[in-house]
Amino acid sequence: MIVDSSAILAIVLREPDQERFVDAIVEADTCRMSVSNWFEATIVVDRRGKTEAVNRLDDFMQRARIQLMPVSVSQGEIARRAWRTYGRGIHPARLNYGDCFAYALAKEIREPLLFKGNDFARTDIEPALKD
């Protein structure tokens, strides 16, 4: 399963629906995250200036054994196509830069994507959680 930054942020920022994301990660055989999405999550928690959230992010990533995956050229190409198809200002999915890399990793290794929100639901990505 591929994990988007939105799912990790729901957990470390203790959003009301955090448990569904924790459960999905715990139940998955393997969890992977694009290093670009991990960096995106670190920016969000660092910008909020909450030391405990920064610590929770680092701790959760380690305890959950989420594998950080490098960005490849082929993922860059998939991300570019995703932007052209589903990007903000182009399509109702409104994918941003980070979203396109989560999409690309999920597509490249053919795994479902764990995410929060409706953006990816408007694409052809396979969701890890079925509502």
Confidence of residue 52 (pLDDT cuts 50, 70, 90): confident
**Has 58 been labeled as part of a binding site?**
no
Rg (CA), the chain: 14
Please name the helix (run of DSSP H) or strand (run of DSSP E) that holds residue 83, with its range, or none.
Answer: helix 73-86
Confidence of residue 128 (pLDDT cuts 50, 70, 90): very high
Q: What is the DSSP letter of 122?
A: G
Q: What is the mean pLDDT of residues 53-78?
A: 95
Q: What is the tens place of the pLDDT at every residue in 10-51?
A: 999 999 999 999 999 999 999 999 999 999 999 999 998 778
Q: What is the DSSP string of 46-78?
A: HHHT-HHHHHHHHHHHHHTTPEEEPPPHHHHHH
**What dotted CATH number matches 2-122?**
3.40.50.1010
**Has 124 been labeled as part of a binding site?**
no
- Judged against a pLDDT cut of 80, whether residue 131 lies above it is answered with no
The candidate with the shortest Cα–Cα distance to 105, out of 126, 122, 91, is 126
Task: Please state the pTM of the whole predicted model.
Answer: 0.94
CA–CA distance, 2 with 103 (Å, rounded to integer):
9
Domain boundaries along the sequence of the chain: 2-122
